[in-house]
Amino acid sequence: MASIVLGVAASHSTLMNTHWDKVVHTDRAEAFRDGLVAARDRIAAAAPDVVVLVGSNHFRGFWLDMIPSFTMGVGEVIAAGDGGTPKGPQKTDPEFAQALAQQLVDRGTEVAISARLQIDHGQAHAIQYLLDGIDVPVVPLVVNVFAAPLPTMPRVAELGANITRAVAEIGGDKRVVVIASGGLSHQLPWPSDWTAPDGDDEEFLVDAWLNGRGEWERYNDRRREIIVSAQPTIFPDFDEKWLADLEKGDMRQYAELNTVQIAEVAGNGGQELRTWMVMIAALGFAPGKALAYSEMPEWLTGMGVAMIEPSQTTTQNGTR
């Protein structure tokens, strides 16, 4: 019987690749990077056979012409290579991915599937740092966190619990690590309502989101300028409480937040906390450990790393 042997979550930011030389708070940046290395080493020690990689989409693989709430890569997985992250085909396990998708559907989580999925830094940042030097296939699970309406947090928590049950039903003895990539708090210079963009920059972004399929690079330079020029908005008090509650195993309270409430306490980028919630629920809301937290205005984001070991109850029953 396959089983989940570890859960890891980490923030991502391509500015870590492209703007390291602009960092003022180098001690904070190095603390976050050290946290990634510690998590990477723990993943290696867990000796996974496959990684379920839960991340977001930044309009390089999905577009406003079609955005499912949840999408699983069940065939080819191609990394866009944006912001210095890995580019090209990634190692995958289509047989496991297809079985996992079927099991999730059987349990009421109707994930979309993609036989040729393009991922961006929302997943590739984790491949670059958390799986550095680890030869393991990935099964990407993309959560829509930016194009409203977004999946509800209860629905996201249910997805996590169903992953645990589904993994337990899949044949073989695979060791599965669940990685969440995204968050913590941050505010992106993106339109709050893509149907009503305000100003030239927001109109440009919505145009890119609607018409970028197959040619995202055509929009990348101006888009990058908009992102880099944004003023940082980070909520460190929220981030620190989130991580403290994760260590206590007191995360069910966050599964009740709605989209508006998340934006108020963690910014529009904080909607990526859904990826953390998938991992946390998959690990049965067990107490975890925060490996690093750094408020990084240079990267526009609260940068955190945490992990959760599976509880015995979760391992045996597929839920806690």
pLDDT in tens, 23-71: 999 999 999 999 999 999 999 999 999 999 999 999 998 999 999 999 9
Q: What are phi and psi of 255, to 5 degrees?
A: -70, -5
Q: What are phi and psi of 34, to 5 degrees?
A: -65, -35
Residues marked active site are found at: 121, 186
> Tokens for 31?
């603390």
Q: What are phi and psi of 193, to 5 degrees?
A: -135, 105
pLDDT in tens, 122-170: 999 999 999 999 999 999 999 999 999 999 999 999 999 999 999 999 9
Q: Please determine, for residue 314, whether its predicted confidence score (pLDDT) is greater than 90.
A: no
pLDDT in tens, 184-207: 999 999 888 899 999 999 999 999
CB 148 within 8 A of CB 24: no
pLDDT in tens, 202-255: 999 999 999 999 889 999 999 999 998 999 999 999 999 999 999 999 999 999
The average confidence (pLDDT) of the chain is 94
> Tokens for 90?
């990634």
Torsion angle, alpha carbons of 216, 219, 225, 227, to 10: -50
Q: How confident is the model at residue 317 (pLDDT cuts 50, 70, 90)?
A: low
3-188+230-308: CATH class: alpha beta
CB 145 within 8 A of CB 100: no
pLDDT of res. 9: 98
Please give the model's pTM, rounded to 2 decimal places.
0.96
Residue extents of the structural domains in the chain? 3-188+230-308
CB 86 within 8 A of CB 140: no
Q: How confident is the model at residue 74 (pLDDT cuts 50, 70, 90)?
A: very high
CB 147 within 8 A of CB 69: no
> Tokens for 37?
């290395």
Q: Please determine, for residue 7, whether its predicted confidence score (pLDDT) is greater than 90.
A: yes
Q: In terms of Cα–Cα distance, which of 2, 316, 52, 5 is closest to 170? A: 2
Cis omega (within 30 of 0) for bond into 257: no
Q: Please determine, for residue 286, whether its predicted confidence score (pLDDT) is greater than 90.
A: yes
